[in-house]
Structure 1
């Protein structure tokens, strides 16, 4: 498995597939019909990429690092000019994951707030600006730019922390591991909290945005639909971040000074975000994924298949996903607190985060019921 995963042919094939898929999406947007029921490009971006990266990263690790067409384009350009793709200025320490957080927020705004997110024009503008920004960043800082700044690489990498497969830090050896080991090794970089809070807040907003009261508020708002929806998305992300910051501050008051008090426990939010993603997007992936593939292979207006689970099964899966994600988050926070806090305060120091995760659990289930 190690030899197969690291083989030059395997990596070249993955890069070629990622680049071919990206070029296909661009061609569909440029030449295909504007009707999203007949054009596979919106489904490829919003379903196969955004949602499909969740199971792919959990099963195979940070797969987008190999498939990323922007990384491949940068590599090809460097080879054409005889340049080492790793060559570039050192990344500023303060930069961290902030570009990835901004990229995720921009993408979720396009998906959840934009007036016509499936419009070929809107998708082309977003993808064009996104590609230009990241290729420029890689030109200045080298391929390391993608590791911390590319929204989809960071997104895939964070979810892959819970994969049972990983690389041993000492020698890069492929190993089978406890997902908690991968999660605990999440780098505590600037912007990590913001990135996870965008993942959590945007998914929570997606669930809340279908509530009849919010739909009425958006439609009748004097500020306009787009402005009101944008404020709602920002408010959801800000609420998640504020609650976490308050609990991290309370933990610091109880236990004294902690190293990087905000980022020390940010990794424990990753399984919670995963639970939200599974709960909210399982049905979408199970129905729109096959329909998008059928469109890509030439079918005309294929019908979406029925979800593999009935309404009761879907509801059960959603609740289990949210509760399991929060339980995993509590365990991850407990392991970190025992290691960082004085023994006499390790238990009481966890209480603010425990209360926060219970609140997130109740809120997530309430969004499903609403």
Structure 2
């Protein structure tokens, strides 16, 4: 590695580490629903450096003990099972539409207390905390459950041509906007507001699908469909669709499931992104950033920074979107910087854009691991309340049960963060061997990305391992 590159990476690492260690303690924010945080029995700086060291050591281990033949054997393993599930998919879509209508009805008519309202608990505990985890742990079942797509396919469409120049950028804006709305509004506290937001999202989505057609809308624009499509690539079970030998083609087209294939977790991530462009990379980074942002605004560091900024004259209404955009720009800029440095360390003719696109899927296990760490406690704590609310949505128990998590549960969350980062390092390692012909070239290409992943690891560990604080001015 050139000396100038080493200096640049070292400065970036020291800056982020210093900022992290200066910060103190914190935990994740899940709207108005929160899970208990664990406590550390070791100094924060030692904990963070140990976590970052584990990720760095895993890269060294993978570089020394693996070769191209071993990687191909691991990622080439698969078992295919044929299945025709058209009738089942129709049934699941009907049920999902009924569930969507039920959420809206209970949101408007059910109790106003968030821990008793089934709409709040289904959306945040059952769907966002529980179901999303099944997408990256098992497989992407959203195409068979998506209620908006089901309704869109039952309605006529104008089939206007979708502007190709827009690509997936609307979905990037969409996911950032959804998380911003979740943070700054009482969506997890107010079932009436949640119901109105679901209605608004439904009207907007169906209008877009009416104009451009379901395939274009859910393939390019809809952020939820794209989020699940990307998360599903982490899972061991991949769909094989008619006319698509490699599984999901990324357009959102429902060709009909021809079967399923079982692969090692993360093996599908060594394939290029279904959207092989800057917009696809931007969406992957957005997935990683929004989960981090959702946790960061629930930390004591953010509380202090936000109050200081408002005290200096920054309007509260500007504060949260500004932090969202600035943080996203930082994460995205770090990835593009790593891609540019990777081109130098690998001494390749490939452009930084091509390298960034090829390695971007390796970030998805990090996002999945952090999501699991961020929301597993919430799901475990409030599952009894969810079951109780579903048993009688309009008149649930007055005092629903809530599970009190043991003190060691925080370390389980830490383990998920580390496992996600370790899988990310492996995926990047395997992708490097797919792209570069020489072993040394493949190893050297990963240096900048490993530095970025170590910094992501330390940031994630800092957030999930510290106590929470209520975000101010919201």
| Relative contact order higher in (CA < 8 Å, ≥ 6 apart) | 2
Kindly indicate whether residue 331 of structure 2 is the aligned counterpart of residue 206 of structure 1.
no
State the secondary structure of the residue aligned to 2:354: coil
| Match of residue 457, structure 2, among 346, 355, 361 | 361
State the secondary structure of the residue aligned to 1:347: helix
Kindly indicate whether residue 211 of structure 2 is the aligned counterpart of residue 140 of structure 1.
yes
Tell me if structure 1 keeps the 8 A contact 2:239–2:261. Answer: yes
Kindly indicate whether residue 343 of structure 2 is the aligned counterpart of residue 252 of structure 1.
yes
Shift of 1:123: 2.3
Q: Who wins on radius of gyration, i.e. which is larger?
A: 2
Shift of 1:332: 1.1
Tell me if structure 2 keeps the 8 A contact 1:196–1:269. Answer: yes
The answer for the alignment partner of 2:177 in structure 1 is: 106
Structure 1: gaps of 5 or more residues = none
Shift of 1:90: 4.7
Tell me if structure 1 keeps the 8 A contact 2:269–2:361. Answer: yes
- Which range moves more in the overlay, 51-60 or 36-45? 51-60
Question: Closer, same or farther in 2 for the Cα pair 1:276/1:241, shift >3 Å?
Answer: same
- TM-score in terms of structure 2 length: 0.70
Shift of 1:275: 0.9
State the secondary structure of the residue aligned to 1:88: coil
Q: Distance in 1 between matches of 2:446 and 2:164?
A: 29
The answer for the alignment partner of 1:310 in structure 2 is: 406
Tell me if structure 1 keeps the 8 A contact 2:179–2:294. Answer: no
Shift of 1:355: 0.7
- Which range moves more in the overlay, 347-356 or 130-139? 130-139
The answer for the alignment partner of 1:187 in structure 2 is: 274
Q: Distance in 2 between matches of 1:120 and 1:69?
A: 20
Shift of 1:325: 0.9
State the secondary structure of the residue aligned to 2:314: coil
- Which range moves more in the overlay, 249-258 or 344-353? 249-258
Tell me if structure 1 keeps the 8 A contact 2:219–2:226. Answer: yes
| Match of residue 359, structure 2, among 254, 265, 281 | 265
| Match of residue 433, structure 2, among 330, 338, 346 | 338
Q: Distance in 2 between matches of 1:180 and 1:213?
A: 34
Q: Distance in 2 between matches of 1:356 and 1:123?
A: 36
Superposition map of 1:13-162 within 5 A? 13-78=91-156, 88-114=159-185, 117-144=188-215, 145-162=217-234
State the secondary structure of the residue aligned to 1:167: strand
Tell me if structure 2 keeps the 8 A contact 1:322–1:361. Answer: yes
Tell me if structure 1 keeps the 8 A contact 2:335–2:452. Answer: yes
The answer for the alignment partner of 1:284 in structure 2 is: 378
Residues 84-115 of structure 1, C-alpha deviation per residue, up to 9 Å, x if partnerless?
A: xxx83454444333232222212211222225
Tell me if structure 2 keeps the 8 A contact 1:62–1:153. Answer: no
Residues 18-37 of structure 1, C-alpha deviation per residue, up to 9 Å, x if partnerless?
A: 11110011111222233323
CA RMSD of aligned residues (A): 2.5
Q: Distance in 2 between matches of 1:112 and 1:94?
A: 30
Tell me if structure 1 keeps the 8 A contact 2:115–2:400. Answer: no
The answer for the alignment partner of 1:165 in structure 2 is: 237
Tell me if structure 2 keeps the 8 A contact 1:115–1:226. Answer: no
Tell me if structure 1 keeps the 8 A contact 2:382–2:403. Answer: no
- Which range moves more in the overlay, 102-111 or 186-195? 186-195
Shift of 1:274: 0.5
- TM-score in terms of structure 1 length: 0.88
Q: Distance in 1 between matches of 2:300 and 2:210?
A: 47
Structure 2: gaps of 5 or more residues = 1-79, 247-257, 467-474
